[in-house]
């Protein structure tokens, strides 16, 4: 039988997920309005993004979603060692994503393509809007990725010390749910930003 605190924790996480969907939904709405107003400029600006790196990051996050889901199954079956390994793979995927983002952002900043730069002042209003949304949305997503990584790191510690086990695993379940949200957001961001046609 499920513990009452677990039910409350799950409900709280679903409410939080709903507010996050509202936040990113609002940003996607702003993006849609700006893209319809400046479709040519958005298309031109998107050529500065590396779709290959974006695709690699998509695959990496999809793998991480699978491993975090499998870690929950491993805990439910009482396999603590496997759960920890799967969570470490999830965190490795997050690290790969962040390293790719570091090089992607680093290249753009190196050539002066960032909000407030002299180069940005020479671009059209639509291109400036594209890059402003690009930096804000991907930056916010990376922040969520870091938070998710912290939650999963705590989960690893709790799995190892037995606080998370086959009878009590709601923290890991909620952490996995949050991680799936992070991945889902990227699945929308990737085509919107990188695959503009």
Which residue range is the domain that position 118 belongs to?
A: 4-194
pLDDT at 154: 96
Q: Is the whole-model pTM more than 0.85?
A: yes
> Which DSSP symbol is given to 163?
S
Looking at residue 75, which CATH number applies to its domain?
A: 1.20.120.80
Number of domains in the chain: 1
**pLDDT for position 25:** 94
Count CB-CB contacts under 10 A for residue 165: 16
Q: What φ, ψ does residue 76 adopt, rounded to 5°?
A: -60, -30
On whether the CB atoms of residues 182 and 148 are closer than 8 A, the answer is: yes
In eight-state DSSP terms, residue 161 is T
Q: Which conformational region is residue 50 in: left (phi greater than 0), alpha (psi within -120 to 50 degrees), or beta?
A: beta
The rounded average pLDDT for each run of 10 residues, N- to C-terminus, in the chain (197 residues) is 69 92 94 93 90 95 97 95 97 97 92 86 90 95 96 96 90 95 95 85
Among candidates 68, 84, 65, 74, which has minimal Cα distance to 166? 74
pLDDT at 1: 46
């Amino acid at each position: 039988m499920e513990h009452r605190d677990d039910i409350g924790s799950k409900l709280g996480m679903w409410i939080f997920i709903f507010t996050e969907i509202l936040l990113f939904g609002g940003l996607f709405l702003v993006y849609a309005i700006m893209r319809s107003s400046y479709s040519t400029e958005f298309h031109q600006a998107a050529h500065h993004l590396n779709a290959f790196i974006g695709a690699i990051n998509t695959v990496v996050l999809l793998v991480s979603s699978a491993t975090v889901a499998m870690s929950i199954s491993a805990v439910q079956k009482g396999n603590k060692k496997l759960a920890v390994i799967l969570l470490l793979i999830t965190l490795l995927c997050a690290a790969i994503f962040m390293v790719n983002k570091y090089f992607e952002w680093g290249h753009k900043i190196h050539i002066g393509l960032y909000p407030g730069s002299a180069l940005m002042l020479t671009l059209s209003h639509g291109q400036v809007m594209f890059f402003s949304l690009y930096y804000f949305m991907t930056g916010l997503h990376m922040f969520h990725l870091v938070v998710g990584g912290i939650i999963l790191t705590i989960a690893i510690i709790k799995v190892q010390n037995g606080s998370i086990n086959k009878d009590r695993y709601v923290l890991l379940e909620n952490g996995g749910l949050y991680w799936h949200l992070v991945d889902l957001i990227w699945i929308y961001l990737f085509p919107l930003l990188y695959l503009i046609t």
